[in-house]
Structure 1
């Protein structure tokens, strides 16, 4: 293998992994039928003049499958957190008890599950597009190297085949993430 191709292949693999990780992270924020700290931890809270993520000012637990318990480290943050939950597009009704906020998740209707599944599918599709764009960029780079005489035609074909293998691998991983998320969303 030509020494020019090693860093290119390593870089494209790293970037494809990052694309998959971004999708994985975004899917963790998609609501399923179960309570999860990931549903609210990214919410932005106005706290002493700055905007911070909820997870930075409170502990978030799930005592059962339908409840999220938020315990701020500063009791003055309770109304601020409650306001952030109301303002979010999650559709939750928080209740404040002395030192904690409880968020009870209503059961999802079939229609809402399908909407959520559609959102999750779009996240995965966007990830696949990102992976394919990385493939295209890498292939263009390989063809440019071949045209400039830095690598042979055989090396170019081999590199493009390797890039395709990486693409297939990461697209399959994204499909696996989608199947798992769809099961979570659609199970009652």
Structure 2
């Protein structure tokens, strides 16, 4: 065997040794982490949905083309709320102002940014009744997408548990797998309840006059 092949085999062996074997605790931990991240993603999505009140979160994740890369607006500008119905943007680099305005205009938020010297001001008139209905539907669609993700994560976890049960090397009993599945169901239920609570709150904010 050549030196290169020996080195390759040795490297592969080291990688295998470093890999953490899959067990019930690992499945449960990874599933909880995935569901938590799904909730965090939904919260970020909701922050970007316009309501009748000015909120810096509305613009924080708007993507702006900056020196060939798409970056979050919050990374290249300060965003503040000088008045309840206004947002003020102060670019860290004055040369990025034009791209920031373009990004906001094409963001789909229905905003009209106005250039004022080195800064950008946005007035936030209350959304119309029809627009509020559209936003509420958008929020509910985001929630349903998140629920689908959670169901998929539950399904994947159960498949992993079943694979462990059927693996003679794992020495995991049927009772252990049943208990783990019950725990996954409990986490799924709590996560779904969290989605419902966040959604009801956001819909109320959107529909508030």
Q: TM-score, normalised by structure 2?
A: 0.83
Number of the residue aligned with 1:183 = 204
- Map Cα deviations across residues 18-63 of structure 1 (whole Å, 9 max, x no partner): 1111111111111111111122222233334443332122100011
Match of 2:107 among 66, 69, 88: 88
Number of the residue aligned with 2:193 = 172
Number of the residue aligned with 1:114 = 133
RMSD of the alignment, in Å?
Answer: 1.7
Q: 1:69 to 1:144 in 2, by over 3 A?
A: same
1:100 is displaced (CA, Å) by 1.5
After alignment, is 148-157 or 91-100 more displaced? 148-157
Number of the residue aligned with 2:156 = 137
1:167 is displaced (CA, Å) by 0.5
2:103 aligned with 1:63, yes or no?
no
Structure ID, larger Rg: 2
Match of 2:50 among 23, 27, 31: 31
Q: 1:163 to 1:46 in 2, by over 3 A?
A: closer
- Map Cα deviations across residues 56-108 of structure 1 (whole Å, 9 max, x no partner): 22100011221010011222322232222223222211111112211001211
2:83 aligned with 1:54, yes or no?
no
Q: Where in structure 1 do 4 or more consecutive aligned residues deviate above 6 Å?
A: none
Number of the residue aligned with 1:123 = 142
After alignment, is 145-154 or 173-182 more displaced? 145-154
2:182 aligned with 1:161, yes or no?
yes
- Map Cα deviations across residues 136-165 of structure 1 (whole Å, 9 max, x no partner): 111111122222343222112111111100
User: What is the aligned length?
Assistant: 186
- Map Cα deviations across residues 156-188 of structure 1 (whole Å, 9 max, x no partner): 211111110010011111111101111111111
Question: Which structure has the higher relative contact order (CA within 8 Å, separation 6+)?
Answer: 1
